[in-house]
């Protein structure tokens, strides 16, 4: 809000638009995540923790370098997500979990905050880097979301790199599926007489499924354009063509230059119900308007009772604390209805951060001010 208060000191002097100030200062920011869930120090070996931190660092550096050199936010998030998709430690691309039938079905989405164009794909099985497919849907089709065999066919026609499904096989993920199925079959049998509710079974299943989760990135470039993207393998043992929040625009991914960019990770069914990504952006837009109105009330009036200065949106911004409050409020609501997970965010003026209600979240962020954060556990 410092630009606003500076304007109050000289109320009749023209104020340079915020976008122009940002261009001069080359403001940019990026945040990435690799999933959220029951992530405890005792569950990660020093070697695996080091490998995860190194990969988060690599993805962050890839996106940051594009932004630092004046590149577009869309290119930055795509590059960062591809790094994570290629690493088996994360539940996306190479590290995707298995469905109940022993397949890997990948979901992804991407959104441009300037135009609010978006692209997404669900249940794809052959595209090496699903985020590229989401971008192709956005750029080269009249649709937003493609699924299954149709999405695979579109990917092939777009010339995206295709792989044999065996490429996505990792022994640890396959072993996780076998443990999950054995536990689920035992649970189903034990609960058959009591007619256990489907909700109880799903909650238990999801609760174990995303220790190494969904990946995503959000960024704002020097032109103030926001982009957001998400990629996932879904949940271990998913059935019946289940699709979570990751390919759903407004639930797992959202970008709007007027408010923020969001990428989510967690129990997708709950993120869908609350439309978490879009909800946070909407709340920030409304909070922005309320805070401008409050600021206007502090402007002195002349002898006739008229304000001596009109507060303009281009010279005003929410504080870091206010942005975090809105993100945390939505994640609190998520918890209230039984969901867990988290989000990363970025705003048009370069603010970035995280909000999650789990024990940990693989996350990182950097910006043009020299900020650099790489973290895993909730107390970092």
Q: Which residues are catalytic?
A: 214
Tokens of 269: 């069914």
Closest CA to 37 of 214, 195, 188, 180: 214
Q: Where are the beta strands (DSSP E) in the chain?
A: 29-37, 106-112, 118-124, 145-147, 215-220, 226-232, 253-256, 260-266, 341-346, 352-356, 360-367, 372-377
Task: Output the CA–CA distances (angstroms, integers) from residue 17 to 298, 313, 351, in the order listed.
Answer: 21, 9, 18
* C-alpha–C-alpha distance, residues 322 and 313, integer Å: 16
**Residue 222 near residue 67 (C-beta atoms within 8 A):** yes
Instruction: Answer for the pair 22, 224: CB distance below 8 angstroms, yes or no.
Output: yes
Distance CA 338, CA 66 (A): 38
Residue keyed to tokens 């209805």: 337
Residue length of the chain? 380
Dihedral, 338, 353, 65, 115 alpha carbons, nearest 10: 70
Backbone phi and psi for residue 122, each to the nearest 5 degrees, phi listed first: -135, 140
Bridge-based pairing state of the strands 118-124 and 145-147: parallel
């Amino acid at each position: 809000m410092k630009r606003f208060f500076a304007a109050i000191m000289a109320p009749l002097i023209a104020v340079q638009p915020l976008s122009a100030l940002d261009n001069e200062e080359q403001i940019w920011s990026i945040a990435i995540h690799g999933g959220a869930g029951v992530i405890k120090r005792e569950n990660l070996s020093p070697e695996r923790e080091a490998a995860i931190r190194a990969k988060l660092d690599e993805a962050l550096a890839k996106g940051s370098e594009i932004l630092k050199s004046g590149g577009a936010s869309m290119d930055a998030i795509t590059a960062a997500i591809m790094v994570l998709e290629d690493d088996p430690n994360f539940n996306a691309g190479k590290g995707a979990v298995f469905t109940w039938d022993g397949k890997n079905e990948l979901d992804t989405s991407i959104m441009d905050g300037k135009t609010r164009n978006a692209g997404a794909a669900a249940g794809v099985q052959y595209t090496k880097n699903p985020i590229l497919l989401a971008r192709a849907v956005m750029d080269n089709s009249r649709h937003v979301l493609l699924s299954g065999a149709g999405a695979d066919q579109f990917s092939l026609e777009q010339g995206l790199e295709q792989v044999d499904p065996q490429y996505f096989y990792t022994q640890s993920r396959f072993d996780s599926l076998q443990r999950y199925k054995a536990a689920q079959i035992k649970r189903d049998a034990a609960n058959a007489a009591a007619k256990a509710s489907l909700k109880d079974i799903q909650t238990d299943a999801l609760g174990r499924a995303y220790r190494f989760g969904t990946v995503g990135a959000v960024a704002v470039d020097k032109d103030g354009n926001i982009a957001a993207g998400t990629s996932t393998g879904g949940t271990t043992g998913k059935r019946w063509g289940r699709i979570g929040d990751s390919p759903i625009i407004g639930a797992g991914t959202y970008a709007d230059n007027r408010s923020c960019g969001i990428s989510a990770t967690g129990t997708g069914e709950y993120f869908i119900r609350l439309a978490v990504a879009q909800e946070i952006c909407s709340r920030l837009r409304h909070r922005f308007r309320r805070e401008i109105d409050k600021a206007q009330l502090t402007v002195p009036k002349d002898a006739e009772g008229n304000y001596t200065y009109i507060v303009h949106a281009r010279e005003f911004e929410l504080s870091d604390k206010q942005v975090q409050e809105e993100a945390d409020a939505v994640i609190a609501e998520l918890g209230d209805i039984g969901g867990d997970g988290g989000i990363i965010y970025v705003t048009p003026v370069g603010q970035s951060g995280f909000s999650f209600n789990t024990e940990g979240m693989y996350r990182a962020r950097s910006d043009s001010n020299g900020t650099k954060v790489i973290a895993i556990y909730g107390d970092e």
